[in-house]
Chain A
């Protein structure tokens, strides 16, 4: 369970997120949506205590993240693929993280197998593709067998088999009663995975609703998203007119 209350974060004068309140419930996969720059990554950093809020609070499983005596056993997070020392092997990377919680090599090998990395466990992570980096990040998130899983763009760079693996994995985790919070821009993929969405735009909450409600009336999730965020898009490609001016 993730409880966000009145969360506000300023970077200088600029509010990255302002007065954000929502709850991510256990037992379902919750999607976290919003255009680029909406504040999704900032919110995730705040949830994990990597940044401190200017106002408001975030609790994960009842406590502030940093107040958990064994945070990896409460929350598993993938914030960025390849947040790994390129010279260290996948297995040593996981062993180092596991050691902070007294988690043994057996669990490390288990998550390596789960993520399909057993064959490259001894290889330097610097040589990994984006997809393999994602797998390693997900393996790290699962190390402590946490009750809450937070994943930022986990399917970026994954092959179709990997995308399907993540989908099955996340659904399975939710079915076990865990809290699964997942950000993505791939609406088609999200529509197949999540049952609830939280939508941000310009740092504010735009929607906190079930997917079933959004796509009612035969709309796709993508159409619903575009409609919701129509006023909140900050970075938008110029129309094809502007682009093709040179050709004229």
Chain B
């Protein structure tokens, strides 16, 4: 009997048995961890007094996420459109005549793999990056750490699912990749709702960091900026200020900073 579990197993075999998956995942890790560590190292090496004014240790070390969303989005498209391009989709739908279990399995398997791989890469970038930043970085035990790491990872996981969905809808690798790039990098403009999903471009939530934050550092976790929860009861007045600090600046590195 064909069950969802068996279809998931089949999709796992498919994902790991082509080279493009490993290439894109490798590029993703390189993008997140490599770029993050490099930027942290360079920041520390070229530190000057003026650096502090426009500096956010979270965004600084996770800047590679912006690169990784491209590789992960492309991998998502390839997973689905690759089958249409090669004709494999006929074999797939002959084995599993219902479309939905295939779609669910493809998206689920890639999401799980993306989560695991990106979590590791983001951890390396964040923890290693903060260490490289030395006195300018955050401690691993900082309350923002989990939020930043998980937020970035979940964001990339969402991008992978978006890629699979577009790959299925468009059925062409070139068209799917163009659309993913369009959605992630072009549509993300002023006032577009997609902007809310993209950490690097989030405008400051306005919420001040907890008391543990060092002066001069306003490390707003990526997840916090996305979710904009008004759960900051611990900081008096924070809920009221939650959403009024918008529009001060944008750009990947400075996105979440509010001074």
Contact = CB atoms under 8 A, between A and B. Distances in A.
Contacts of B92: 97
Contacts of B83: 85
A6 interface: no
Contacts, number: 86
B87 A48 contact: no
Interface string A70-81: 111000010110
B95 A71 contact: yes
B17 interface: yes
B213 to A, nearest CB: 48
A142 B89 CA distance: 18
A50 B84 CA distance: 13
Nearest to A66: B97
A140 B6 CA distance: 17
A118 interface: no
Nearest to A126: B86
A50 B95 CA distance: 11
Interface stretch (B7-15, B42-50, B199-207): B7-15
Interface residues of B, number: 28
Interface stretch (A32-40, A86-94, A238-246): A86-94
A14 interface: no
A72 B86 contact: no
A42 to B, nearest CB: 13
B97 A86 contact: no
Interface stretch (A99-107, A171-179, A188-196, A207-215): A99-107
Nearest to A141: B94
A82 interface: yes
B10 A50 contact: no
B212 interface: no
Interface string B115-149: 00000000000000000000000000000000000
Contacts of A84: 86-88, 91
B190 interface: no
Interface of B: 1-2, 6-7, 9-11, 13-14, 17-20, 82-83, 86-98
14 contacts: A48-B97, A49-B97, A66-B97, A71-B2, A82-B87, A83-B87, A86-B86, A89-B17, A95-B13, A96-B13, A97-B91, A101-B1, A101-B95, A102-B6
